[in-house]
Amino acid sequence: MAPLAPTRAEGREVADAVVAWWVSSAVRRERDRLAWRVRREPWRVLVSEVMLAQTQLGRVEAHFEPFLARFPSPSALASARLAEVLSCWSGLGYPRRAVALRRAASVLVDEHAGQVPCSYRELRALAGVGDYTARAVMAFAFDAPVMPVDTNVARVLARAVAGRPLGRGRSQEVADSLVDGARRGRRRAQAVMDLGATLCRPSPSCDRCPLAPASGRPACAWRAGGVGADPAEGTFGSSRRQSPFEGSDRQGRGRLLRAAAARPVAPAELAVAAGWPGDPARAERVARTLVADGLLEGQPEGGYRLPR
């Protein structure tokens, strides 16, 4: 069985093999057309990572450039009305992210001269920027030698490098071994992420993988060990599945926000605005979750509106 954590040399070997495949692959050519890869200004990278955190790539592609056209800089977003920000975010889901991004933009204006910082500490201090997003901005915008661990990367690390399921902390340790000693990190992070997004899927295409045992390169630890249980199962973050949107509270939240962006929603209109005309109790409950998230505020006479 593979050791619990690879040595630094083993991690680097795997990263080098993946990069060697990636630089001339069709996968890279295709994915380098994504708008946030064509131009990698830190603000664009930050916005893309916040969007991609909980929204499928296709929907982000449709919304990314229109959002950036309206909010091309932190100062443009920081000075915009919340109703307009939410309107531009509509269709991406989880609008809390839009509110947090606007708060982060204000901090960028007030404390960083309107620029996105490159240090982990300063990025993490921004609203809505967690460990993954901070590392992704450092790697993709600033080419720093860090490896952000998303769903796709976690799957590759567990299968190809460790050969066993990995908890959150161990995943990051293994990820760090892939950039250990590197001066720049973007290519490594992008290559491993693209491998996970295209070939090392939940149902992997090992026959086309640069780490397949027959490839002559450093081999995938899982496949080299036979056909045991998939290490991606039980690995932190590698098997999250989104519950269906249709009929969900998320759908009702989106409808309520769109209605409130147009005008305050009166108590008698709430259930229809949420899309549940026969279930006013559910509409009320969901509206209160929006209030708790700072996305709506109750009115003295009843009903809800966007925060002033």
In total, the chain counts a number of residues equal to: 308
Query: Which of left, alpha, beta for 163 (phi over 0: left; psi -120 to 50: alpha)?
Result: left
Binding residue (CB under 6 A) for ligand SF4 from 11, 185, 204, 218: 204
CB of 188 to ligand SF4, least distance (A): 15
If one asks whether residue 53 binds ligand SF4 (CB under 6 A), the answer comes out as no
Alpha-carbon Rg of the chain, whole angstroms? 22
If one asks whether residue 164 binds ligand SF4 (CB under 6 A), the answer comes out as no
If one asks whether residue 162 binds ligand SF4 (CB under 6 A), the answer comes out as no
Q: Which stretch binds ligand SF4 (CB under 6 A): 73-81, 95-103, 166-174, 196-204?
A: 196-204
Which of 130, 194, 127, 196 lies closest to 159 in space, CA to CA? 196
If one asks whether residue 209 binds ligand SF4 (CB under 6 A), the answer comes out as yes
Angle at which helix 131-142 crosses helix 42-52, to 10 degrees, equals 140
If one asks whether residue 154 binds ligand SF4 (CB under 6 A), the answer comes out as no
- Mark whether 49 is an active-site residue: yes
Between 95 and 165, name the residue whose CB sits nearer to ligand SF4.
165
Number of residues that bind ligand SF4 (CB under 6 A): 14
Q: Which stretch binds ligand SF4 (CB under 6 A): 21-29, 178-186, 202-210, 282-290?
A: 202-210
Can you say whether the dihedral through the CA atoms of 206, 212, 218, 223 is positive or negative? positive
CB of 209 to ligand SF4, least distance (A): 3
The tokens for 142 are 């600033």
If one asks whether residue 156 binds ligand SF4 (CB under 6 A), the answer comes out as yes
Cα–Cα distance for residue pair 84/69, rounded to 1 Å: 13
Can you say whether the dihedral through the CA atoms of 258, 134, 184, 154 is positive or negative? negative
The tokens for 183 are 């001066």
If one asks whether residue 206 binds ligand SF4 (CB under 6 A), the answer comes out as yes
Q: Tokens 């990025």 map to which residue?
A: 123
Between 14 and 60, name the residue whose CB sits nearer to ligand SF4.
14
Q: Which stretch binds ligand SF4 (CB under 6 A): 50-58, 107-115, 175-183, 203-211?
A: 203-211
Q: Are 212 and 205 within 8 A, CB to CB?
A: no
Torsion (CA) 4, 201, 154, 96 in degrees, nearest 10:
-160
If one asks whether residue 160 binds ligand SF4 (CB under 6 A), the answer comes out as yes
If one asks whether residue 220 binds ligand SF4 (CB under 6 A), the answer comes out as yes
Q: Are 68 and 46 within 8 A, CB to CB?
A: no
Between 166 and 220, name the residue whose CB sits nearer to ligand SF4.
220
CB of 219 to ligand SF4, least distance (A): 8
Main-chain dihedrals φ then ψ at residue 304, nearest 5 degrees: -140, 155
Between 100 and 156, name the residue whose CB sits nearer to ligand SF4.
156
Half-sphere exposure of residue 147: CA atoms within 13 angstroms, side-chain side? 28
Residues forming the active site: 49
Q: Which residues sit at the interface with ligand SF4, rule CB under 6 A?
A: 156, 159-160, 199-200, 204-206, 209, 211-212, 220, 222-223
